[in-house]
Amino acid sequence: MYEEIIPVNLENGLTVNAVLGYTDDASPDSVAILFPPHPLLGGDMENNVVTALFKGFTARNYMVVRFSYRGVDTGEVNGEHYLAYWDKLEQRQDFTEIISDTHEVLTSVIAQINPTARIIFVPYSFGTIIALALYDRFLPAKFVGIAPPVNEYDFSRHLRRHHDVLFVLAQNDPFCSRLLLDKLDAAYTVCDADDHFFRGYEDVLWNKITQLVEEQWKTQSGEK
């Protein structure tokens, strides 16, 4: 397995790093994009879920990309500690800058791999918000999100527009209510994992993700 660090320069001198994983047999025709969780909850590209999926996709000969959000790699954003910066974003519930950053990162990385590649979005937790916001710009061939925090954020605008999105949930998740997902007419399946963080259940999650990514689904809502 090979890993390449791809630095992407953003506005005001900020840089976000992406990591590309692949093997000698990997095809550039399919690229899996992994979106990390919230930095205030340990959200970076070294997160246990992100790294497990990164290794899994790479082993199955996908080109796979993981990245961190602004400030996570450097520890600061324009002189401000990155956690303070992210706390302000959270208080405002305004992630426009993060969506813009991620758009730049993915545009740059995909252009270097294969501009016509089939894109697969696999976002985790907070990453599902960013991935949904970018859906129309990248038109992923598949979107399999993990544990969307619907109890914490408003998903209604995006989910009502994109009915080909599928989510994977844990058995007990205080951030992700199945009742709210049902009200949003969201499609989901539940895997045999304990809670939102999937610690100790990474292999269980990976088996479910690879099954869903590599098969066609037709159900538009409800338990599968």
Q: Where are the domains of the chain?
A: 2-223
pLDDT > 90 fraction of the chain, expressed in percent and rounded: 86
Confidence of residue 14 (pLDDT cuts 50, 70, 90): confident
Half-sphere exposure of 149 (CA within 13 A, CB side): 15
Half-sphere exposure of 154 (CA within 13 A, CB side): 5
* 121: its two tokens: 């979005």
Domain 2-223 class in CATH: alpha beta
Q: Alpha-carbon torsion 36, 41, 46, 47, what sign?
A: negative
Residue 218 to residues 26, 75, 141, 158, Cα–Cα distance (Å): 28, 43, 14, 19
The pTM score is 0.94
Alpha helices in the chain (DSSP H): 48-59, 82-92, 96-113, 127-133, 135-138, 156-159, 178-183, 202-213
Angle at alpha carbon of residue 116, lines to 111 and 122, rounded to 5° = 80
What region does 2 belong to: left with phi over 0, alpha with psi -120 to 50, or beta?
beta
Q: What is the pLDDT of residues 55-68, one digit of tens each?
A: 999 999 999 999 99
The Cα–Cα gap between 124 and 144 comes to 9
Q: What is the pLDDT of residues 119-158, one digit of tens each?
A: 999 999 999 999 999 999 999 999 999 999 999 999 988 8
